[in-house]
Amino acid sequence: MTAQIGDRFLYGGDHYSIVAISNSIQFDPSDYGIKPAACCTACWNGYWCDYRISSEGITLQNLYINSEEDCYPKINGISPESDDGKHFKYMGHHLYKNINIFMEYTGRILAGKDFMREYYIHMGYQRAWAYKVLTEWIFDGGRLVKTVDHSEMAEKLRKELEVFKDKKENGKADRDIVQFVQDSFSLDMREKAWWIKQREI
């Protein structure tokens, strides 16, 4: 199994990686005539997005996508760039750059920056505690209405993880591997951010 590349976010001049989301962002490539298909094991969705976040809301800035039918129509007047076949810089995907599509999103997004390599898992999406900075954005009708810093919680989780590792090494803890795999490939807020109260998701 392979670590998955997920949506990325530009906020306040910094880049964040998705950790969890309460509702899916309603972007569908098929609306633009593209049927995505995986071209590598690191992106089973067949595409991922770069979003820009501001007080106005979320804008889809860049789209990295592989078309099952090799069909790449213009999106918002933009034609895609493709890999040159030598450097594999987009992991084999085409890049629609600066398409700038506003997304009228309502929900919560949890994202992290300053990834800590020692917590990397080569499967699914990375966990909340793997980031020094953990931020939650809350949107209503497309507008960013609240930002919550969960960095202290991420640090607390790292400490708890170290205690768990110590117990496991001493034969005092076990882990359901099936559940671990399921959680790794999930972006559900209830699984990846269980400390956030259900009524707030």
User: Concatenated DSSP letters for 75-125?
Assistant: BTTBPPB---SSS-TTTT-EEE-S--EEE---EEEEEEEEE-GGG--SSBS
As separate numbers, helices (DSSP H) first and strands (DSSP E) second, the chain gives: 3, 9
The pLDDT of residue 181 is 42
By DSSP bridging, strand 143-149 and strand 131-140 are: antiparallel
The pLDDT of residue 106 is 92
The pLDDT of residue 1 is 55
The pLDDT of residue 164 is 62
Q: At 150, is the secondary structure helix, strand, or coil?
A: coil
The pLDDT of residue 74 is 95
What's the pTM value of the predicted model, to 2 decimals?
A: 0.78
Give 156's DSSP letter: H
The pLDDT of residue 129 is 85
User: Concatenated DSSP letters for 30-49?
Assistant: GGGT--B--SSTT-TTSEEE
The pLDDT of residue 190 is 79
The pLDDT of residue 199 is 47
The pLDDT of residue 201 is 47
Intervals of the chain under pLDDT 50: 170-174, 177-178, 180-181, 199, 201
The pLDDT of residue 55 is 82
The pLDDT of residue 161 is 77
d(CA 100, CA 88) in angstroms, rounded, equals: 24
pLDDT digits (tens, 9 = 90+) for 123-175: 567 788 889 999 999 999 889 999 999 999 888 888 887 766 655 554 444 45
